[in-house]
Amino acid sequence: MKATVTVMLKTGVLDPQGEAVKSALGALGFGGVDAVRQGKVIELDLAETDAGAAEASVTEMCEKLLANTVIESYRVEIA
């Protein structure tokens, strides 16, 4: 089973990497970009065969290691 975790900074948290990308896009001639938020995607291959158990396990991984829940939010997708 495969799990995909998308981690993003929470709304209101400054995103200096996103600002740098926005600035670089403008310098390259890509106008009209009002904001950029940069995050990360983590793909996990799991031995678990039950989708509910897999989601619970990955959620625990996010809470303990994969996301800094003080400043980041995350989304888990199981396939």
List all residues 6 or more positions away from 67 whose beta carbon is below 8 Å from its beta carbon. 5, 7, 73, 74
Q: Encoding tokens for residue 46? A: 């799991």
- Which tens digit of pLDDT belongs to each residue from 5-19? 999 999 999 999 999
The whole domain housing 22 covers: 2-78
pLDDT at 63: 98
What CATH number does the domain containing 45 carry? 3.30.1280.10
Taking the C-alpha atoms of residue 50 and residue 4, their distance in angstroms, rounded to an integer, is 15
**Total domains, the chain:** 1
pLDDT score recorded for residue 67: 98
Q: What is the per-residue pLDDT across 25-70, written as a single tens digit (0 to 9) for each?
A: 999 999 999 999 999 999 999 999 999 999 999 999 999 999 999 9
**Residue 21 and residue 71: Cα distance in Å, rounded?**
20
Residue 41: strand pairing partners? 6
